[in-house]
């Protein structure tokens, strides 16, 4: 069951780091320096991640207090899953912001392609004519 716990933990483990990374990247794209963006971005989502992960740990650790055959069957499962969640929380609140501050760079704004410019102009034309038809009605 401990291997099953690790397989299940694979989905839970990456979520925390992705949330932190995306929030830091958003701040960097808004023009905040990377070190400050890492601090601000982690601080914004830190409490949410902490409360979410601690509630998951409490759920899995509570299996240890069930007693009987259930406790003996799921002991390794709950310990493995709780440990993986706690390590994921630690990494997402410490290592991920540090690496983001070091490696993330602001995205270059993309130039609009010919099709995108044509589509935008066609959309603007439709909006102007739609407004006129509404004002006439």
Per-residue pLDDT reduced to its tens digit, 59-106: 988 888 888 887 888 888 888 889 999 999 999 999 999 999 999 988
pTM above 0.75, yes or no: no
Kindly indicate the confidence band of residue 107, based on its pLDDT and cuts at 50, 70 and 90.
confident
Q: Evaluate if residue 56 carries a pLDDT over 80.
A: yes
Query: Contact 27/37 with Cβ under 8 angstroms?
Result: yes
Give the DSSP letter of residue 55. Answer: H
Domain range spanning residue 38?
Answer: 2-112
How would DSSP label each residue in 32-65?
--HHHHHHHHHHHHHHHHHHHHHHHHHHHHGGGG
Residue 23 belongs to a domain? yes
- Residue 98 has a CB neighbour count (10 Å cut-off) of 12
Whether 130 is covered by a domain: the verdict is no
Tell me if 34 is assigned to some domain: yes
| CATH for 56 | 1.20.1640.10
Domain assignment present for residue 134? The answer is: no
**Of how many residues is the chain composed?**
137
Q: Does residue 32 fall inside a structural domain?
A: yes
Q: Does 117 map to a domain?
A: no
Is residue 13 one of the residues assigned to a domain? yes
Q: pLDDT band at 33, cuts 50/70/90?
A: very high
Total domains in the chain come to: 1
Mean pLDDT to the nearest integer, 27-39: 94
Residue 41: both structure tokens together = 């971005």
- State the pLDDT confidence band at 1, using cuts at 50, 70 and 90: low
**Residue 126 located in a structural domain:** no
């Amino acid at each position: 069951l401990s291997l099953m716990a690790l397989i299940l933990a694979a989905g839970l483990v990456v979520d925390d780091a992705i949330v932190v990374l995306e929030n830091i990247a958003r701040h960097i794209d808004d023009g905040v320096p990377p070190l400050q963006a890492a601090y601000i971005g982690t601080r914004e989502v830190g409490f949410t991640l902490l409360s979410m992960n601690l509630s998951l740990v409490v759920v899995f650790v509570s299996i240890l207090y069930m007693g009987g055959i259930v406790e003996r069957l799921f002991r390794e499962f709950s310990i493995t899953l709780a440990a993986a969640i706690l390590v994921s929380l630690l990494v997402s609140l410490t290592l991920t912001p540090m690496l983001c501050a070091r490696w993330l760079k602001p995205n270059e704004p993309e130039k609009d392609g010919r099709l995108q410019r044509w589509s935008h102009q066609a959309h603007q034309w439709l909006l102007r004519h739609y407004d006129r038809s509404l004002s006439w009605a």
